[in-house]
Structure formats: C-alpha cells, structure tokens
C-alpha cells in the first residue's frame, strides 16, 4: 500500500510538471488579429519592411530590384521563410533565377538548414517558389560563432544573373514566415543581455525612443528571458523517475521484514 501511495503521489507531481511544459510549447509567433500585413518591401537593410511571423507580406516590384523584409525570431524557434514570385507571362527572354537570403541582426548571412533557397524558372513559368528553414535560434553563442541569435532577421529576395533584356519586367512577390518551437532540446546555459534588434541600445539611452529605434517588432509574448525552458521540467521528471526506481528496488529486495530463523545450537 505504501508503494501504491508513492506511485500516486509521483503521478500527481508528473502531471503538475508537464502542465507548464505543455503551455510553454505552444507557438509564440501567432500574429495579432488587428495587424495589417505589409503590401510593400524595402530596398535595403535600413528600409526593410517589418512583418510579424504568420503574416503574408506582398509587394509589386520589377525584376532586378532587391526586396527586403524583417521579422523577429526568439530563442528556441526554428524559422521557415517561404517566398513566391509571380512572374510576368510576357517580355521574358529566357529563364530567370531567383534567390532568397536571410540575415540576422548583425547582418550575417544565415545558412539554410533545408529548403530551396535558389530556383530557376523556365521562360514560360508563371511563378517560382523558394523556402529557407534556418537553424534553431540559440539564446547565447560564442562570439566567433555564426549561430542564429534572438533578434531581428532580414529577408532579401532578388533575381540573379539577369540579362539586360529581362531587367524591369513586373513581378509580384509574397513572403511568409513561420516558426516551429523546438523547446528545451535547443536550450543553452546563457542568454544575451539584449536581443539583436537594430537601435535597441540607442533607444534605451535616448529620451526620444520612438525616433531612435530602427526596429519595433518583437515576438507576440515578448523576448524570452533565456533561463527558462522545458528542459527544467524533463530534468525534474527524470529525478522523480530515478527516485521511484530506487524505492521500487528497495521494496523488492528488502524481503518480508521478518528475521530469519536461527538454527538451534548456534
């Protein structure tokens, strides 16, 4: 009976531990219902149009233009950027190659873990689709590493290797960013003092913060503090299971508890 009571209590502890983990694993990049998706794109890093994760940004441009958007990504997220370029059905002299690049807050080009980052559209193709799934954003990294870190990320979409005859033809672009919450498996022991958001250090020192901040986007539930992750929950679960294993092993090996009969004359 004592073992049964211990198991019931342990199950209650496990339920209480898993509940916050389940709440923490919910997507944190859902767009707000009253926000309006952008209908234009910037032409440089400084003029990149801000877009929240989950929003579909659109823009009308000309072949040869550089199109820039920016979005926030927090620790534990694995962002995926998808772009669709709708091409003009006429005035194309041949194939077109389009490329999607993603840069972090330090303007370091980030490698795509998988996805079609560069694609060539046939002369009669109506559209071309590109995608880039980044590595999981880390809360902290060594200064010499190029790991993705929390902060602003930039999307650059452009055609490469164009001939003079194809420059200036009209195109329509669509971009959307989604993230998968990886959770404690990507947690590290450390965090940045501030996310890599352009202008954040200036805005903290300036009285006119609205004018000083170059990027105003942040994840829907704010930037993570860096110390909490569901890794703590699973560590606690491991400790409870180890304690249960010890109690069970003791119960099985201690015997009936009665002293063994001593032979006469001993």
Summarize pLDDT for 191-235 with one digit per residue, the tens. 777 888 886 544 444 444 444 445 667 776 667 644 555 656 666
CB atoms within 10 A of CB 98: 24
> What are the structural domains of the chain?
26-229 (2.60.120.380)
Q: What are phi and psi of 243, to 5 degrees?
A: -65, -40
DSSP H helix total and E strand total for the chain: 4, 10
96-103, strands of its sheet edge to edge: 49-50, 67-73, 151-160, 96-103, 118-121
Q: Is the pTM of this model over 0.75?
A: no
Tokens of 62: 């000309």
What is the length of the chain? 266
C-alpha span between 169 and 85 (Å, rounded): 12
Closest listed residue to residue 51, CA positions, set 82, 24, 86: 82
Per-residue pLDDT of the chain (266 residues; tens, 9 = 90+): 444 454 455 445 445 444 444 433 333 334 444 458 899 999 999 999 999 999 999 999 999 999 999 999 998 899 999 999 999 876 677 889 999 999 998 899 999 999 999 999 988 899 999 999 999 998 888 878 888 999 999 999 999 988 888 888 899 999 999 999 886 655 666 677 788 888 654 444 444 444 444 566 777 666 764 455 565 666 677 788 888 888 888 778 876 555 556 566 65
Chain centroid offset of residue 19 CA: 22
DSSP 94: S
Question: H/E/C letters for each residue in 198-212?
Answer: CCHHHHHHCCCHHHH
């Amino acid at each position: 009976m004592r073992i049964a009571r211990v198991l019931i209590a342990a199950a209650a502890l496990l339920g209480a531990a898993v509940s916050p983990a389940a709440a923490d694993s919910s997507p944190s990049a859902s767009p707000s219902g009253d926000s309006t998706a952008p209908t234009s794109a910037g032409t440089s890093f400084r003029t990149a149009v801000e877009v929240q994760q989950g929003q579909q940004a659109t823009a009308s441009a000309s072949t040869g233009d550089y199109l820039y958007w920016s979005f926030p990504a927090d620790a534990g997220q694995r962002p995926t950027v998808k772009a669709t370029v709708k091409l003009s059905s006429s005035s194309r002299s041949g194939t077109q190659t389009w490329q999607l690049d993603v840069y972090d807050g330090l303007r370091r080009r980030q490698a795509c873990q998988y996805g079609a980052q560069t694609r060539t559209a046939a002369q009669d193709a109506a559209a071309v689709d590109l995608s880039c799934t980044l590595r999981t954003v880390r809360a902290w990294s060594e200064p010499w590493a190029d790991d993705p870190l929390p902060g602003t990320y930039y999307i650059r979409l452009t055609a490469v290797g164009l001939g003079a005859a194809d420059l200036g033809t009209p195109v329509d672009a669509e971009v959307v960013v989604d993230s998968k919450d990886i959770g404690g498996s990507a947690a590290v022991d450390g965090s940045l003092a501030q996310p890599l958001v352009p202008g954040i250090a200036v805005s903290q020192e300036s009285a006119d913060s609205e004018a000083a901040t170059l990027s105003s986007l942040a994840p829907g539930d704010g930037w993570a503090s860096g110390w909490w992750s569901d890794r703590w929950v699973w560590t606690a679960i491991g400790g409870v299971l180890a304690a249960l294993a010890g109690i069970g092993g003791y119960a099985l090996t201690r015997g009936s508890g009665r002293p063994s009969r001593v032979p006469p004359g001993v």
